Amino acid sequence: MKKLSLVLALVLVLTCGVLAACTDDADTSSAAESVAESKAESKAESKVESTVESTVESTAESSEEASSEAVSEEASSEAEVSAPEAGDANLASGKTYTTSEQFRMGGADVDWGWDPDAAICYLDEPGSLTDGVIAGTDSEYTDAAWAGWSGMHPEYPTLGYAWITIDLGESKDLAKFVAHIGSSKLGAGIGATNMKIEVLVSDDGETWTSVGEAVPADDANLSCVSTTIEGAASGQYVQFRLARDGWMFVSELEVYGAAE
% of the chain surpassing 70 pLDDT: 68
Among 37-41, 76-80, 202-206, top mean pLDDT goes to 202-206
Beta carbons within 8 Å of 93's beta carbon, 6+ residues apart: 130, 131, 132, 254
Residues 218 and 182 in one domain: yes
Predicted pLDDT of residue 260: 81
Q: Where among 82, 98, 120 does a domain terminate?
A: 82
Residues 9 and 131 in one domain: no
Predicted pLDDT of residue 206: 96
Residues 54 and 117 in one domain: no
Q: Where among 63, 82, 101 does a domain terminate?
A: 82
Residues 140 and 45 in one domain: no
On the question of pLDDT at 24 being above 50, the answer is no
Residues 60 and 98 in one domain: no
Residues 65 and 106 in one domain: no
Beta carbons within 8 Å of 13's beta carbon, 6+ residues apart: none
**Which of the pair, 37 or 228, is modelled with greater confidence?**
228
**Which of the pair, 3 or 232, is modelled with greater confidence?**
232
Confidence band of 109 (pLDDT split at 50, 70, 90): confident
CA angle 168, 171, 173 (to 5 degrees): 100
Mean pLDDT of 156-170: 96
Nearest-angstrom CA–CA distance, 191 and 242: 12
Confirm if 240 and 164 have CB atoms less than 8 A apart.
Answer: yes
Residues 210 and 109 in one domain: yes
Residues 27 and 54 in one domain: yes
- Report pLDDT digits (tens) over 45-62: 444 344 434 443 544 454
Residues 129 and 185 in one domain: yes
Among 71-75, 110-114, 241-245, top mean pLDDT goes to 241-245
% of the chain surpassing 90 pLDDT: 63
Residues 26 and 122 in one domain: no
Q: What CATH number corresponds to the domain at position 164?
A: 2.60.120.260
Beta carbons within 8 Å of 164's beta carbon, 6+ residues apart: 97, 98, 99, 100, 129, 239, 240, 242, 250, 253
State the chain's mean pLDDT as an integer: 80
Q: Where among 47, 82, 117 does a domain terminate?
A: 82
If one counts the domains in the chain, the total is 2
Full residue range of the structural domain in which residue 77 is found: 1-82
Residues 151 and 249 in one domain: yes
Predicted pLDDT of residue 82: 63
Predicted pLDDT of residue 84: 84
Length, in residues, of the chain: 260
Predicted pLDDT of residue 251: 98
Task: Give 64's Cβ-side CA count (13 Å radius).
Answer: 6
Residues 78 and 91 in one domain: no
Predicted pLDDT of residue 125: 92
- Report pLDDT digits (tens) over 55-89: 435 444 544 554 444 444 444 334 344 678 988 99
Mean pLDDT of 223-228: 97
**Which of the pair, 130 or 19, is modelled with greater confidence?**
130
pTM of the model: 0.69
Predicted pLDDT of residue 242: 98
Confidence band of 13 (pLDDT split at 50, 70, 90): very low
Nearest to 118 by CA among 101, 93, 131: 101
On the question of pLDDT at 127 being above 50, the answer is yes
